[in-house]
Every structure is written in structure tokens, then in C-alpha cells.
Amino acid sequence: MYHRMVPKLAETVHQYIFKQQLLKPGDRVGLAVSGGADSVALLRLMVDLRKELGVVLSVIHFNHKLRGIDADADEKFVKELSEKHGLEFFCRSGDAAHYAEQAHLSIEAAARAMRYEYFVVLLQSGKCNRIATAHTLDDQAETVLLKLTRGAGTRGLAGIYPKLAVGHYSAKPSEPEPLIVRPLLAIRRKQLESYLKTLGQDWREDESNRDLRHSRNLVRHGILPRLGRNLNPAVREALAETADIARAEEEYWTGQVEDFMPQVWKSLDDGRKPPHGGALNLPLLSAQPLALQRRLIRAASESLGFQLEFKHVEQILQLASKKSRHPQSTILPEGWKATHQDNKITFDRRAEPLTVDYEYRLPIPGRVRLPQAGKLIETVLVRPGDESGYNPDHAFDPALLTKELLVRNWRPGDRFWPGHSKSPKKVKEFLQERHLTGTERRLFPVVVSGTEVIWLGDFPVPSELRPRDSNQEVVIIRETVLEDY
């Protein structure tokens, strides 16, 4: 079995690397190894392939300090594995939980940001010019499904790219462009685990990877297996193929947009980067197919340093279709507006962004997207015995909440009484203490039950709404940052 599985899997990885042009002889490749099965398999496969590929390997580990002694044990395990195979070991640690609180990110987003920041440091230092991560076909399928449910176009459905250029790092002309590469993107996770078992190679298990309160884990362990059993046994492969198709579509349309933009778009050449405005030629824009119109509008906004959601693009198209002697405008994110006048759609930024109040119903359980705040708010029911992974200070007694909550931006006069505090304060004061300003502060979300604000970010929930029985079902409210589509 060893002689059949190992060469076959290694050859599949080698073919994928060649097809996607991920590596070439002479590359200095840092392997991102967490200690889990996927990344340990990446290490073992690349060790087997390094002579054939002509690359120099090292190992990179980031300790996020999220699991106490288990995280330290992961670091020790990866270091010893590196030494066993004679690979240089690079390691950094950081408090991801603290960073998440300071940056108002989810734990997952904060950990990824810290990890990738370290990758860039290593690339800039010249320690390596490629960093390989252990993303698998399963990761690709999960990403596509998550993007789809959150409202993605082909850009989002393209999922995880086989290689990612580190755009803000300028390599020397004589050196290869620094990239993050994913050599295992065509391999199933179960194949990697079987491979490791064949080798007699152990790995580290992270119990949080089975916590169904995390969206990706719910997709991985709940939704995809059900889709596989009831609709399509090859659902993961189908979703990964969708990503391949979407990436090719994106490459084509990127070229089309680059060709048309100089004809259709004119930015204000005032020396600012990005420019502080510009205009679309409406007759030329309207003459293009709808798909290209949408992409040109989005490209215009991105050249100015902000991004549009689908609904904003449709508002601009609707604005463009109106006939009037007088200028007509529509409000866009981050204080921008689009105005139709004289066969042009002009983009300009007002001195002060307009606050647009928002308000959405939030069922229990359920989720709601807040495009105005760039966040996703969701409620989760947690059953007794499944309490790991969240702070008890953030748990609500469902019997003390209304059947349907309301999530909205805070309003003047709102007050909140966090647990473990002596008295309530104005929400405005809490946000001032966090040093939030401008649009971020004005559009900060709160959750309301009845007429009372019951949730304000990562503050403890009001004591009167905490569960009285430790063996009862509880409600958790959590937020994540919306991903671009």
C-alpha cells in the first residue's frame, strides 16, 4: 500500500504544481505548518518532491495563543518535525484574541491577518520567495459554498486561488515575484489523512475545528456531508470545479475591463492617489453588454478606493437609465455619490459621509448581513454540553429575549448596561472609549430586544439576561466581517 499511495499522491501534487506554475527550480519555499493533518501532509509531500522540483524548503509556524498549552504543544510538535527533516524553522507568536478585540474582527479573521502579515515579513526579508499553504479541495468547496450563501458574483465564486501575489512587496527585478501558493488545492482532505496513516506520521488535532458554531465548521461537518448524501456524492468536486470556471471567467473579464476602461472612464487628474473623483461616459457605457457595464462601474469605484455591492451597481444603472434635465444622484458607500448629468455619471465624495440608518429583523437562530457596516450578525442556539469555545459572559437566556430581535445602527439616546458594571451608560460613551470615529462609529451595530439594547459588540451581556441554569440552552450573538464578493 505504501508504494502505491505515496508515489501516486506525490505525482498528483507535482502535476498540479506544474500545471498552475506554482514553483520553479531555485525557489525558496516556506511551508506554512500548523501541525494539523493537512499542513503536516504538505510538509511530507514537499520533502519527497523537493529534489525533483529543485526547491529549498523551510517551515513556518504561527502560534496564535488561542489554545493555551495546546497551542504551545503544536509549536513544539512542528519544530521537532522540522528538525527531523533538516528544515529551517521560522516561528512567531501573537495574541489573536486581543488583536480581534482591538481591530473589531472575528477570531478567525484576526488570526489570518496576523499569520499573513508574518508571511509578508518573511517574503520581504528574502528568507523565502514562495510560501505554500495547505488549502485542500475541501477548503475550496467550503469557501465557494460560504461565498455563495453570502451573495457572491464570479469574483467570490472563484474561491481560493492557486497562487496569490503579494502586491505591496516589490521584489528586485532579478528575483522571482513573491507568491503564496496552494499545492494541495486539487487533493481531498481524506486522501491526505490516509497518506499520513500510511507513513505512520502523526499530527495534531485542534478541537475547535469541530465547533459547529463557526460557519466553516458547520459547512464542513454538517451541510456538505448532507449535500453529499442527498444530492451529489461529488458535491465538493463540483464546487471546486465551479471555482475553476469562475477564475477563468474573472481572468477574461479583467482583460475586457482593462481594455474598455480608458475609453469609458476618466478620473480627475489632481495628483491624488486614489483620485478624488471621475466620470463614466454614459453613451459608451450604455452601448456595452450588461455584464461589462456592471464590471466597469465596479472598476470605476475601485479606482477611487472604495467598493460597491451589487445593489449599488444596480442603483447606478437605474440612475443612468433616467432621462431628466436636472442632475440626479444616488448615495454610495463611504461618503461617495454618483450623479447623472450631461451624458455622464460622475463620482464625487462629499466632505462628510451621510449617515444612512439601517434596521433588520434578526431571528433566533439566524443571520443578517449589514452591508452598511461591513458585518454579518448571527444568533446561534447552543445546547447543554456544547459550551466550549465561547465566553459565558456572552450567553443569553432565550426565554428572556423576544422571539425576533432587531439589529440596527445605534441611535442618539441609546443606553447599554453591560454585565459586571454598576450602571448603564450611553452607547455613544462606549464607542468614544473605543476611539471609534466617523462612519465606523455612526454605523456601529447594536441588537435590540423589545426597546432595550441587549448587545454591543464584545461587551458582556446584561446580567439580567444571563442564563440562571448552567444546564440550559443559551443564545450567542456574534459578528464577522463581510468578505468582498
Over 70: is that where the pLDDT of 199 sits?
yes
Residue 184 pLDDT grade (very low, low, confident, very high; cuts 50, 70, 90): very high
pTM surpassing 0.85?
no
Element (H, E) at 432: helix 427-433
Name the residue with cell 448615495.
331
Tens digits of per-residue pLDDT, 67-120? 889 999 999 999 999 999 999 999 999 998 888 777 766 778 888 889 999 999
Local confidence band at 1 (pLDDT 50, 70, 90 cut-offs): very low
- pLDDT of residue 458 exceeding 90, the answer is no
pLDDT in tens, 229-283: 999 999 999 999 999 999 999 999 999 999 999 999 998 866 566 678 999 999 9
pLDDT tens digits along 346-374: 999 764 444 568 888 888 888 888 877 87
The sign one gets for the Cα dihedral 480, 169, 92, 35 is positive
With CA atoms as reference, report the closest residue to 428 among 445, 415, 409: 415
Structure confidence at residue 141 as a pLDDT band (50, 70, 90): very high
The tens digit of pLDDT for each residue in 36-51 reads 999 999 999 999 999 9
Residue that wins the pLDDT comparison between 390 and 309 = 309
Residue range 425-441, pLDDT digits in tens = 899 888 888 877 777 78
pLDDT attached to residue 371: 78
Alpha-carbon distance 249 to 130, whole Å?
26
Bridge partners, 469 (sequence order): none
CA dist list (Å): 192 to 45, 50, 130, 180, 477: 10, 18, 22, 20, 35
Is 57 in a helix, a strand, or coil?
Answer: strand
- What Rg do the C-alpha atoms of the chain give, in angstroms? 25
Please, which residues bridge with residue 376 across strands?
369, 480
Helical (H) or strand (E) element with 93: strand 88-93
Give residue-wise pLDDT tens across range 311-340.
Answer: 889 999 999 998 877 788 888 877 788 999
Q: How far apart are CA 77 and CA 74, in angstroms?
A: 5
Per-residue pLDDT tens digits for 12-28: 999 999 999 999 999 99
Give the pLDDT score at 149. 84
Per-residue pLDDT at 484: 39
Higher per-residue pLDDT: 220 or 355: 220
- Look over the chain and give the mean of its residue pLDDT values, rounded to a whole number: 87
Catalogue all structural domains in the chain, each as residue range(s) with its CATH number. 2-247 (3.40.50.620), 268-349 (3.30.465.60), 359-481 (no CATH)
The answer to whether the beta carbons of residues 274 and 187 sit under 8 Å apart is no
